[in-house]
Amino acid sequence: MNHYTLQNIKKTSFLLGLLIAQVALSQTNYFKQRIPENKILVVAHRGDWRNYPENSVKAIEGAMKLGVDIVEIDLQKTKDGQLIVMHDKKLDRTTTGKGEVSEASLAEIKPLFLKNGAGMPTREKVPTLEEVLNFVKGKRIMLNLDKGWDFIEQVRLLTEKTGTTEQIILKGNKKASELKKEVGQKLDHIIYMPMVWPEDYSIYKRDEVINPTEYIRDFSKMFSPVAYEVIIKDDSPKADELLTLIRDAHAMIWINALWPELCAGHDDDKAMDNPDENWGWIIRKGANIIQTDRPEELIRYLKSKNLKYED
Amino acid sequence: MVLGQNHISLSKFPHDKIMVIAHRADWREAPENSVMAVKKAIEKGVNMVEIDLALTKDSVLVLMHDNTIDRTTTGKGKPSDYTLEEIKKFYLKDGLGVPTQMRIPTLDEILDTTQGEIFINLDKAFDYFDLVYPVLKKRNLFDEVLFKGTATYEEFNRKYRAIKNDIHYMPIVRLANHEGWVKINDYMNHYKVYGFELTLGSDESHMINFKEIQKSGARVWVNSLWPQQSAGHHDDLVLENPDAYEWFVKNNINSIQTDRPKELIDFLKRKKLYSPVK
For chain B, say whether A259 makes contact (Cβ under 8 Å).
yes
- Coil, strand or helix: which one is B51? strand
pLDDT at residue A3 tops 90? no
Q: How far apart are CA B108 and CA B130, in angstroms?
A: 15
Look up residue A144 and give its amino acid.
Answer: N
Supply angle C-alpha A222, A228, A229, rounded to 5: 145
B102 to chain A, closest Cα gap in Å: 10
For chain A, say whether B100 makes contact (Cβ under 8 Å).
yes
Range of A3-7, A30-34, A93-97 with top mean pLDDT: A93-97
Q: Are B27 and B35 in contact (CB under 8 A)?
A: no
What tens digit of pLDDT does each residue of A261-311 get?
999 999 999 999 999 999 999 999 999 999 999 999 999 999 999 999 998
What tens digit of pLDDT does each residue of B229-254 get?
999 999 999 999 999 999 999 999 99
- Cross-chain Cβ contact A117/B95 below 8 Å: yes
The H helix count followed by the E strand count for chain A is: 12, 9
What tens digit of pLDDT does each residue of B143-191 get?
999 999 999 999 999 999 999 999 999 999 999 999 999 999 999 999 9
- Coil, strand or helix: which one is B256? strand
Closest residue to B27, CB basis, from A118, A122, A293: A118
Selected residue of B35, B96, B235, B264 to mutate for chain A interface (largest A Cβ count, 10 A) = B96
Q: Are B114 and B38 in contact (CB under 8 A)?
A: yes
Q: Are B199 and B223 in contact (CB under 8 A)?
A: yes
For chain B, say whether A213 makes contact (Cβ under 8 Å).
no
A46 to chain B, closest Cα gap in Å: 9
At A276, give phi and psi (nearest 5°): -65, -35
Indicate the pairing of strand A83-85 with strand A70-77.
antiparallel
pLDDT at residue B205 tops 90? yes
- Cross-chain Cβ contact B95/A93 below 8 Å: no
Answer yes or no: A3 catalytic. Answer: no
Kindly give the residue spans of alpha helices, DSSP state H, lying in B50-106.
84-87
Answer yes or no: A45 catalytic. Answer: yes
pLDDT at residue A207 tops 70? no
Catalytic pick among A87, A189, A250, A266 = A87
What tens digit of pLDDT does each residue of A235-259 get?
999 899 999 999 999 999 999 999 9
Distance of CA B84 to the CA centre of its chain: 24
Look up residue B103 and give its amino acid.
Answer: R
Q: Are A113 and A52 in contact (CB under 8 A)?
A: no
- Using a CB-CB cut-off of 8 Å, the residues of chain A touching B226 are 120-121
Q: How far apart are CA B37 and CA B49, in angstroms?
A: 9
Catalytic pick among A3, A45, A189, A266 = A45
- Cross-chain Cβ contact A116/B95 below 8 Å: yes
CA atoms within 13 A on the CB side of A307: 22
Return the H-helix or E-strand segment holding B219.
Answer: strand B219-223
- Cross-chain Cβ contact B28/A54 below 8 Å: no
At B50, give phi and psi (nearest 5°): -90, 125
